[in-house]
Amino acid sequence: MPVDVQTLLKSGVVLADEALERLLPAATTAPHSIHRAMRHSTFAGGKRLRPVLAMEAARAVAGTLPDAAVELGAAIEMVHTYSLIHDDLPALDNDDLRRGKPTCHVVYGEAIAILAGDALQTLAFQTLAQLKVRPAAIVEIIKEFSFAIGTGVGPETGIPYGMIGGQVEDIEGEGQQPTAAGVERIHRSKTGALITTSIVCGGILGLDAKLAAEGKSLDHTHADLIAALRTFGEKAGLAFQIVDDVLDMTQTSEELGKTAGKDTATEKSTWPAIYGIEQSQKDAAALIADAFAALAPFGEAAEPLKAVANYLVDRKH
């Protein structure tokens, strides 16, 4: 049966937002300014794609959606939001619009925005540490997560793998002649790493839930399933950023919910800058086809993940 991706995404938004509402301090909790800033950016209307990917990866492995997968998704969204708050700062991309609303530093000032991002990242790790899964799974998830948002080399791939490392290369590449290898490295790190880890961590959580129900320990017996999810995530994550590059050049600020044309104005390293718009669209489609192929071991259980991946490349904002 075909998956209704819009229904799937809306359901994911509801689940993620309910968890975020529970986990984030209330706006009335002192110190008020930072908690209001955290909530301002977290509830600014994001699509919650990363939590949805985490939840659907967990469901694909476990057969049903484990309760802990929802809080995992919330933790991932906290880190994603922190990265956006910092990315928009004057010292980085200097943007005043995000998700169609004023950015955090515009509303609350730079100091509070920096601290709001820091606090969201800290709360994310607090949430991961308290997931209702077995300790071995928590350790694996935190390991994956920390590699994905840091500067180092990934635990499996051996390629540059880390959101902060990718951000550094992106900043240092401004105004420089872009290279194909450099653009791919930035995209896989800055954007792709968090998408990949959402899927891999969801898979680890789902596998732990499945094995726990069978009275088995989490080990490397099913490493091939996690490797397949990693390949899917890497392919889909790169396709997502390629499409983002194309949209930045072809859509208006109103359509994007953020400042359009910013990549060109700041001479950032983008896929279309190397390959052009038409080839970029073809490359994104080819990557999604490869991502689908990686999910063959999951059969029909992977259809929701495929539906979300299709949405990643078909979206207009």
pLDDT confidence tier of residue 158, bands split at 50, 70 and 90: low
Position 159 scores a pLDDT of 54
Q: What is the DSSP string of 188-201?
A: IIIIIHHHHHHHHH
pLDDT tens sequence across 62-95: 999 999 999 999 999 999 999 999 999 999 989 9
With tokens 């004057």, the residue in question is: 90
Here the CATH number for the domain that contains residue 178 is 1.10.600.10
Distances (CA, A) of 161 to 65, 74, 77, 150, 209: 28, 22, 19, 8, 27
- pLDDT-based confidence at residue 250 (cuts at 50, 70, 90): confident
Which region holds residue 115: left if phi is over 0, alpha if psi is between -120 and 50, else beta? Answer: alpha
Strand, helix or coil for residue 316: coil
Number of domains in the chain: 1
What string of DSSP letters covers 27-68? TTSSSHHHHHHHHHHHTS----HHHHHHHHHHHHHHSS--HH
Q: Would the CA dihedral through 269, 273, 277, 278 be positive or negative?
A: negative
pLDDT at 249: 80
Asked if 95 contacts 103 with a C-beta cutoff of 8 angstroms, the reply is yes
Average pLDDT over residues 201-215: 95
Q: Phi and psi at residue 153, in whole multiples of 5°?
A: -95, 140
Q: Is the pLDDT of residue 40 over 80?
A: yes
Residue 305 clears pLDDT 70, i.e. is over it: yes
Tell me which range, 123-132, 157-166, 275-284, is most confidently predicted by mean pLDDT. 123-132
- Which amino acid type is present at position 304? P
Do 195 and 201 contact (CB within 8 A), yes or no?
Answer: no
- pLDDT at residue 185, rounded to an integer: 87
Of 69-73, 146-150, 157-161, 226-230, the poorest mean pLDDT is in: 157-161
Give the pLDDT of residue 266: 47
Section 18-38 average pLDDT: 97
Rounded to two decimals, what is the model's pTM?
0.91
- pLDDT, residue 97, reads 87
Q: Which domain holds residue 265?
A: 5-314
